[in-house]
Amino acid sequence: MLLRNGIKSAVFALMAMMSAGALAEELLVAAASDLSFVLPEINKAFEAKHPDVSVKVSLGSSGNFYAQIQNGAPYQVFMSADEKYPRDLIASGNALADSYNVYGTGRIALWTMKPAVNLSQGLSGLMDARVTRIAIANPAHAPYGRAAEAAIKKQGVWEALQPKLVFGENISQTAQFVQTGNVDVGVVAMSLVLSPKMRGIGRWAEISSALYPALVQAAVVTRAAENSAIAREFVKFLDTAEARDLLQKYGFRDTK
């Protein structure tokens, strides 16, 4: 009898949990991979304010998400690593103009696991013959890759460094090439080297923001979420002191 009651209450508890899960509104967020560490914290803070919402994040390259949303992907919020993709989505009617929100400016840094690599000279120091492989994100479609390319060119060392370059699919893969030691040094997002997971691993040095066009990053609500109040709430939440503190902690420069 006792056992049966136990089972009964367990079943009830399970059903209650399941129905609570079913009631929770899902919010699908497509986010650039430089947000992979800060976003879970932002989501936690957001969900604490909206207990009935469960934020589901897909991480990837901004260009990829742009193309997918253009073609009807069900994401409700798009957090790009630049401002152009969100603007283009608005222009084509696939995102809501009044939801456009700049949430921060990205910074880039040199990151290495190799004791022999000298970071004190910045990008020029990478002309050293002991540096044979340098990873950057693919400039063809990754905003951080474009920033890296611009910085190397502005520094006047493109000719010297180009033969050493390998390209990560996005900024996370670029960091992964560095962390596994497959390249000597990489140009990665500050948000990755400042994350608790990466902090203290290897050495890093920020690349002067004078060397590349500002990586202004914007979020936008997609057309798929036209009628979703919670999607708008989420994008607005990025403006709160709480979210901005988190973004700054992870190396994004505040733009407000």
Partner 1 sequence: MTWLGLPAPLWQALILSIELATVTTVVLMVVGIPLAHWLNTTRFFGRSFLEVIISLPIVLPPTVIGFYLLVTFAPQTPLGQLWQVVFGHGLTFSFAGLVVGSVLYSFPFAVQPYQAALRSVPKELVEAAAAMGATSWQVTRHLRLRWARAGIFAGSGLAFAHTMGEFGVVLMLGGNLEGKTRVSSIALYDLTQALEFEQAYRYAAVLLVVSMLILIMVSLLQKHMEIRQPTM
Residue 178 token pair: 């560095």
- Site track for partner 1 across 55-74, x = CB under 8 A: ------x-xx-xx-------
CA distance 117 to 125: 8
- Site track for partner 1 across 179-218, x = CB under 8 A: -xxx------------------------------------
Q: What is the dihedral of CA 21, 23, 28, 34, to 10 degrees?
A: -50
CA distance 98 to 211: 32
Q: Interacting stretch for partner 1, rule CB under 8 A, among 27-35, 121-129, 133-141, 237-245? A: 133-141
DSSP E strands: which ranges in the chain? 25-32, 53-60, 77-79, 101-106, 108-112, 134-137, 165-168, 185-189, 203-206, 215-221
Q: Interacting stretch for partner 1, rule CB under 8 A, among 13-21, 178-186, 205-213, 231-239? A: 178-186
Q: Quick one: which of 14, 140, 201, 245 contacts partner 1 (CB under 8 A)?
A: 140
Q: Interacting stretch for partner 1, rule CB under 8 A, among 34-42, 166-174, 187-195, 231-239? A: 166-174
- Smallest gap from Cβ 208 to partner 1, in A, equals 26
CA distance 188 to 35: 12
The conformation of residue 75, written as its DSSP 8-state character, comes to -
Residues that bind partner 1 (CB under 8 A): 61, 63-64, 66-67, 133, 135, 138, 140-141, 166-169, 176-177, 180-182
